[in-house]
Structure 1
């Protein structure tokens, strides 16, 4: 099964599929959508860029009751950037569902407007980061008692960031007979234990490599540390990618490398976790519309950064683990393109 037309999807979801140009399912969608649509819990291993958002998005939208103005679906993401990206895609998939209210609730932005919005009208779908969702639920303005679908997106990253306790508390606030969908790039012991406690007899699927593997050419350059900034500039000048992300391990390096590249004539901007959310949004907008052609970032951008046709990724230094490397380079070579 690789065709969306073969799935028992609601007619209300067809406009969203058409708007996104989706006809054939990716491997993770083909494996996970049938059990999701049957209402089964799911434990899924999928690499970045494999199409998992559409898989769980179609599933949670299918289960919505548009006439019920309570939160029925909750997607937890590790970062603000990923939550924003997931929220945008779910809104497009929901094009054919009238009067749907979807709220993206993350930290790094003012709490009061989020409270006011929730008090005015409960959203039917919430996409958020664990800390902010936990805070709003504790304040009794976000009501999770009737949540029918709980999605844990990039669950391994959430645990790495210390969100295990908020995730467990949030899950306990959701309906006891909910459907739980857990997506993770890796299955360490902590993820297995979390799944054992939160999921009921889950279907397990795995898409790792094979036909879904991104087409990314990788090159390694051995450079003396004192010449590293010049080497990055030289490589970008030599290969001239239309857009590139340079990943650094520290905020200090992010600022220094961005400044160095500007001296070499690049329109380079910095992105790291200590920036205000509006400044981060502005940087991502400039990269997306090509008014900035090089983004220098810490790992805060390694997940959830989705720039149309990003040409190249540069690791200023190697990250500390293989998974972080995989997620960094996964910003390029997406949706069947080369990187």
Structure 2
């Protein structure tokens, strides 16, 4: 289906053509008519399917024809990075229109906060916000949303995972009951259905398969010891075969350790984690998008919070515990019908996790042989120390001899 079949506003359509978009993706083909017909919608679609444009295009078309446009649309996103990316996409699509947008998120300085307040007082067409920062503006009385026409929740499952449920419900209490609500989620967990039942009115439902990675991804796995992992990565990046790569690790401590190891070996990479300041994170993402940075190392925050074309390699340094996270991670490559490679390093503890992933994707991922030099490495077996549960101080008592019976 071509975009001209939707009969969009000519200026909006011109922006689409300038960006090189001609044919709708499956989620766009199904969601756009539903949204144009003013129905509430719950859509299950993973990142990389074109879901952002599937709600932006029809909503922007309706804004261009709206009589009242002051704070017309609110888009909630789980992270500042995603909010920024959505805002950039609005700006690109709206290039030939007079539709305005504002990204509202925390982490900036006082000047940024005041700029957000001023823009909201003046009124914009589309506000893209993280729940916590938006709630602060609503509570202060700066932001008024009595004329809101559209509420969109992007990556709703991620927002609930991050503990934003209460903020979302409070935000909705400030909105008019007569509105169109669109909920997009990569998974359809029971908690998503429960929330949808509370905030949507007779919604249409669309599900785009999320269990299968893109056909263009060459999936590979290595059975490997933890002590061999860094050596294998060094070998992979020595070849200079990959121009844009993401490495996912399970914790920010591993992210930092891997970055330090790469730096010592002269491999150009950056670590992306929550300890970085907002400006640092933005600079790193910009360098990665502009191809000045070839390797980005991060946790699962990156698997949904980054939207960069042309990534040709994804490495799972650790096997994710949730099989759906595997799909999200490797979905950073082979986007828009391109090719890419996904490599997963599977240690002995993670074999069961990887079995569950293969069940989900209904495919056996080929096991690759380790290079001889790495396979021959001497492995030191270290017994893991058991540590007490967090929050409880471990107290060691000297064992007493039992008292003699009387």
Bin for the TM-score computed over the shorter chain: over 0.9
> Which protein shows a greater Rg?
2
User: SS state of the match for residue 275, structure 2?
Assistant: coil
Are the counterparts in 2 of residues 3 and 25 from structure 1 also a CA contact under 8 Å? yes
User: Matches of residues 76-225 of structure 1 in structure 2 within 5 Å?
Assistant: 76-98=76-98, 100-120=99-119, 121-208=122-209, 213-225=214-226
The Cα shift of 1:208 comes to: 0.8
Q: Deviation string for 1:174-218 (max 9, x for gaps)? A: 221110111111101000011111111111011116999452111
The Cα shift of 1:274 comes to: 1.5
Q: Which moved more, 1:257-266 or 1:19-28?
A: 257-266
Distance in 2 (alpha carbons) for counterparts of 1:214 and 1:162:
34
Go from structure 1 to structure 2 and tell me whether the alpha carbon gap of 1:112 and 1:170 turns closer, same or farther (over 3 Å shift): farther
The Cα shift of 1:255 comes to: 0.9
The Cα shift of 1:68 comes to: 4.2
Go from structure 1 to structure 2 and tell me whether the alpha carbon gap of 1:296 and 1:182 turns closer, same or farther (over 3 Å shift): same
Distance in 1 (alpha carbons) for counterparts of 2:211 and 2:9:
30
Are the counterparts in 2 of residues 156 and 191 from structure 1 also a CA contact under 8 Å? yes
Could you say which residue in structure 1 is the equivalent of 2:377? none
List runs of 5+ in structure 2 lacking aligned partners.
Answer: 341-406
Q: Deviation string for 1:16-39 (max 9, x for gaps)? A: 211221111000000111010111
The Cα shift of 1:237 comes to: 2.4
The Cα shift of 1:114 comes to: 3.0
Which TM-score applies when normalising by structure 2? 0.79
Go from structure 1 to structure 2 and tell me whether the alpha carbon gap of 1:131 and 1:210 turns closer, same or farther (over 3 Å shift): closer
User: Matches of residues 269-280 of structure 1 in structure 2 within 5 Å?
Assistant: 269-280=270-281
Distance in 2 (alpha carbons) for counterparts of 1:116 and 1:294:
34
Could you say which residue in structure 1 is the equivalent of 2:32? 33
Root-mean-square deviation (CA), in Å?
1.9
The Cα shift of 1:328 comes to: 1.2
Distance in 2 (alpha carbons) for counterparts of 1:212 and 1:126:
32
User: Matches of residues 39-58 of structure 1 in structure 2 within 5 Å?
Assistant: 39-58=38-57
Are the counterparts in 2 of residues 268 and 296 from structure 1 also a CA contact under 8 Å? yes
Are the counterparts in 2 of residues 46 and 52 from structure 1 also a CA contact under 8 Å? yes
User: Matches of residues 226-265 of structure 1 in structure 2 within 5 Å?
Assistant: 226-238=227-239, 240-265=241-266
User: SS state of the match for residue 63, structure 2?
Assistant: coil
Which TM-score applies when normalising by structure 1? 0.94
Distance in 2 (alpha carbons) for counterparts of 1:94 and 1:175:
26
The Cα shift of 1:334 comes to: 1.0
Q: Deviation string for 1:278-306 (max 9, x for gaps)? A: 00011111112222111111222221212
The Cα shift of 1:111 comes to: 4.8
Are the counterparts in 2 of residues 81 and 303 from structure 1 also a CA contact under 8 Å? no
Could you say which residue in structure 1 is the equivalent of 2:7? 8
The Cα shift of 1:241 comes to: 0.7
Go from structure 1 to structure 2 and tell me whether the alpha carbon gap of 1:35 and 1:303 turns closer, same or farther (over 3 Å shift): same
Go from structure 1 to structure 2 and tell me whether the alpha carbon gap of 1:211 and 1:317 turns closer, same or farther (over 3 Å shift): closer
Could you say which residue in structure 2 is the equivalent of 1:305? 306
Using CA pairs below 8 Å that are at least 6 residues apart, which structure has the higher relative contact order? 1
User: SS state of the match for residue 230, structure 2?
Assistant: helix
